[in-house]
Structure 1
Amino acid sequence: MDEIALFFRQSSPTSGLGRHRDRVPGLPADPEELSAIVRGLLIHNYTATVQGLRFSAERMSHMETVGAAAILDNVIGIDPAPLDRERPVERRMFGFCYHFALLHCALLRATGTPARIRCGFAGYFVAQRWIDHWVVEYWDGSGWVLTDPQTGRGDLTGDDFQDGVTAWNLCRGGASRPAVYGNGELWGWDELRGSLINDVAALNKVEVAGWYWCDRLHVEPLDQPHDELDMSLDVLARLAAAADAVDKLRNCVDLYPEFQPPAGAVAR
């Protein structure tokens, strides 16, 4: 695990803090304390709606932000206070689960903890449904710990969250029903395909939300099986599930470059 831990302790182009690196000294190294800091900087779009908060079109456009440095550009542009100072809800960056997970992962890496974000499905939002979601895994020295920086839930289990690789393999093997995976708009195979490729990309430290850019996934009907496409994704998922070294993770990308997000992809 030394090689894997080192790989995930180093920043990626999307998780690097860049011009904001000097804001890290003084922040706690404890993963859950960093998770709380992230919640004090961001507000989820659904939470804002429930609370009746109104944001300008410019502030709402922050939903498209990719990259931890760009997230902090937004955060600091709204309120230049130190990162560990909790903002009032109306002065937090408007985003979604991807932004919480990526910023938490970036701060973990910057403070010395190996971490990675995982795209998959949470089982704690809607009963008997798996809702698409991003969380964080960090290495505690003996194993990977799953935590949700958006909600503050820690020590997640397989009953709480399934990463995209796991969800795909369960559904393809018949152990789970595809129809219960998705969000408020779309359920089934398209959601499973998109979360799988996002999850594999994030394991290779290319952390981008959304899969609108992936022409290979544009099949009809979206929510139904597609033999040729799905067999390729079976191979991708099988390789990712068995990858216990950095070169094996990279092999997933080398074999199917069409499933790797291009430079400049934005969150959607």
Structure 2
Amino acid sequence: MNKMLAYYTQQSVITDPGEYAHMYADLPSDIPALCTVTQNMLLHIFWIPAYGVELSEERKKEVNIRTVAGMLARIVELDDQPVTVPRTPEQRLVGNCRDFTVFLCSMLRHKGIPARARCGFARYFTPGKYEDHWVCEYWNVDEKKWVQVDAQLDSIQIKTLKIDFNPCDVPGDKFLNGGKAWKGCRAGDIDPELCGIFEMKGLWFVQGDLVRDFMALNRVEVLPWDCNELMPGPDQQVSEANYELLDNVAYLATAGNKSFAELRALYDSTAALHMPADWKP
């Protein structure tokens, strides 16, 4: 247990603030306040109109920044005050759910709180659908369990979406990580055609999020559109030859803390689960 918690307290190549760690000075320690900091730094690319602003296509390209250090570099260009100082929507970095997640994850790890990104599907954006999404998990030391946090759900989104739960404690049936979604589809409990985003949907999409989730559990928090050989496209058939590996990935991603060593071993020993050699964070 201690080894696992120490692992998720360490920054990854993606979440490490690097030379911008000084911007984390005076960060609050409670989860709601850290979510507020995150919301004051980022503007979700799909929600821009809801905040009454118009941004150029060039600004929207900020969503492609992979690392937190890169995000902070751009944030400094927009406004060089500490991250604890709120920005107007125009001054916020354009990102998506994954970026809200890794930003919160970075701050939690900086504070010595074990945290990890989870890729999967939320059930609170579109009724009846499992929508592609990312959340952060942190280790609640008092309750001795992982707690899901959706850092992008601010007051505007909560009201618009009519959210009826605490975003700092997202119920397990409201967000399903990639492992849970894959197992549900394989068991026939979830229709894979309900899983995805926009016109992209199906078991191929679930497979991609399963692999991204497993990579995130190994501190490789890729962009939602980063792909490797185990992430098929919409025009590709899901290969049954990979089912044994993918079922094992899903099992380990959902088996709990006892399987941490096995999870790490599978990732380290399976090249197909890694990003291509030419991929750069």
TM-score, scaled to structure 1: 0.92
Counterpart of 1:112 in structure 2 is: 112
Distance 1:21 1:220, change over 3 A: closer
> Aligned-pair RMSD on alpha carbons?
2.0
The one-letter code of the counterpart of 1:190 is W
1:250 maps to 2:252: no
Distance 1:233 1:72 in 2: 35
Counterpart of 1:151 in structure 2 is: 153
1:50-61 paired onto structure 2 within 5 Å:
50-51=50-51, 53-61=53-61
The one-letter code of the counterpart of 1:143 is K
Distance 1:207 1:236, change over 3 A: same
1:64-213 paired onto structure 2 within 5 Å:
64-141=64-141, 142-152=144-154, 153-213=167-227
Distance 1:56 1:81, change over 3 A: same
Distance 1:220 1:106, change over 3 A: closer
Unaligned runs of 5+ residues in structure 2 are 155-166
Shift of 1:225: 4.4
Distance 1:264 1:43, change over 3 A: farther
1:239 counterpart (233, 252, 255): 252
Shift of 1:266: 7.0
Shift of 1:232: 2.7
Deviations 1:115-137 (A, max 9, x none): 00100011110111110001000
TM-score, scaled to structure 2: 0.88
Contact 2:123 2:129 survives alignment (8 Å) = yes
The one-letter code of the counterpart of 1:145 is V
The one-letter code of the counterpart of 1:196 is L
1:206-225 paired onto structure 2 within 5 Å:
206-218=220-232, 221-222=235-236, 225=238
Q: Secondary structure at the match of 1:40?
A: helix
Contact 2:119 2:210 survives alignment (8 Å) = yes
Deviations 1:86-145 (A, max 9, x none): 100011101111110000000000011110010001111011111000100000111111
Distance 1:100 1:266, change over 3 A: farther
1:9-24 paired onto structure 2 within 5 Å:
9-24=9-24
Counterpart of 2:161 in structure 1 is: none
Aligned residues: 266
Deviations 1:41-100 (A, max 9, x none): 100011114446322343211111101111111111111111011100011101111110
Unaligned runs of 5+ residues in structure 1 are none
Distance 1:36 1:219, change over 3 A: closer
Distance 1:89 1:263, change over 3 A: farther
Identity between Structure 1 and Structure 2 (%)? 32
Contact 1:3 1:246 survives alignment (8 Å) = no
Distance 1:24 1:263, change over 3 A: farther
Shift of 1:248: 1.7
